[in-house]
Amino acid sequence: MKPGIHPAYGPVVFRDSATGKEFLTRSTATSAVTTKWSDGNTYPLIVVDITADSHPFWTGKQRVLDSAGQVEKFNRRYGQRRTRGGGA
């Protein structure tokens, strides 16, 4: 790697805005807002909208799509059309 062209990579705390859960990881993201972590150190704080703690796929609250119903709806709308002129 070339020196001096890469952003600083260090510890950052991410907070889920929906649940308030925080986790400490490393990132190149920075923030002027800081938070004190359980180890007594202060780290930059990044607030995000969705994490695995609040995402419907990971929480089990995902909505099941009725794919068969969507196909039937499409066929009702567009499946019965006939082309004029006898094209391919």
pLDDT in tens, 32-70: 999 999 999 999 999 998 887 777 666 666 666 666 777
Looking at residue 26, what is its pLDDT?
Answer: 96
CA angle 6–11–15, rounded 5-degree value = 115
What percentage of the chain carries pLDDT values higher than 70?
75
- At residue 82 the predicted structure's pLDDT band, cuts being 50, 70 and 90, is low
> For the chain, what is the mean pLDDT?
83
Residue 53: closest CA among 23, 10, 81, 84: 23
CA angle 59–10–48, rounded 5-degree value = 30
Q: Torsion angle, CA of 35/36/37/43, rounded to 10 degrees?
A: 50
CB under 8 Å to 64, separation ≥6 — which residues?
Answer: none
Per-residue pLDDT at 1 exceeds 90: no
CA distance 30 to 48: 13
Lookup: tokens for 71: 């196909």
